Amino acid sequence: MTRSPIVFQLRERVVRPAIPAVENRHLVVREHPLVLGGPSGSLISFSADGLTVTGADATLGDVLLEGGARVEARVEAERLELRSVDDALFFRVRQAARLRRLELRIDGRGPGTLGVGETTFWTSGRWTEHRVGRAFRLRVPYAYPESGGGDIRIALVFGEIEITRVALVPPGEPEDVIRLR
């Protein structure tokens, strides 16, 4: 019973409306995950309790982990482990935050390639790939009018990568700003 997909979906508190679409002459399924009662903030960190969203500036919400070929991305100790291609962290840029220029900051370690997707329910959007080394701090500019959409997906393309922190903040915000829970 604990391995039931229905029990998993209830525990995850995610509703996934989906529609089929044709993209480059291939059939795809477009999803729009909605996290029921999920937190909002500007910083995603990881602990033994799972992922934590903090920050008084609510730039992101609907945060969830997605799985690749083997299992879903998982939180171990104080990091998110991306071990299988397409393991990912998904979140949605909140409506009010889409009016500002922001910066996606990703801290982690492990050699490989991270993909950052900006999409909507209706379009495939924009996808960029970033080679990362042993310890890295990746900064990706985000402006909604120029982006591919408000749904952000940080996914493993190649390698094995551990993410320690993700932030969606104004470009000039200092790294050590005090965060409110």
The pLDDT tens digits for 104-136 are 999 999 999 999 999 887 777 889 999 998 899
- Torsions phi, psi for 178 (to 5 deg): -75, 130
Q: Which position has the token pair 């939180």?
A: 75
Q: Which CATH number is 37-169 given?
A: 2.60.120.430
| Rounded Cα distance, 106 and 129, in Å | 13
User: Tell me, what's the pLDDT at 143?
Assistant: 94
What is the model's pLDDT at position 31? 77
Cα angle for residues 13, 18, 19 (degrees, 5° grid):
175
Please list, residue by residue across 71-96, b when 16 or more beta carbons sit within 10 angstroms of its beta carbon and e when fewer do: eebebeeebbbbbbbbbbbbbbbbee
Q: How many Å apart are CA 117 and CA 120, to the nearest integer?
A: 10
Q: What is the largest CA-CA distance in the chain?
A: 49
Contact criterion met (CB below 8 Å) for 114 and 68: no
**Whole-number Cα distances in Å, 43 to 5, 34, 112, 151:** 29, 19, 23, 16
Q: What are the boundaries of each domain within the chain?
A: 37-169
pLDDT under 70: residue ranges of the chain:
1-12, 68-73, 176-181
- Read off the tokens for 77: 């100790």
Task: Please count the CA atoms within 13 angstroms of the CA of 132 that sit on its side-chain side.
Answer: 30
* pLDDT score for 12: 66
Question: Which pLDDT does position 179 carry in this prediction?
Answer: 55
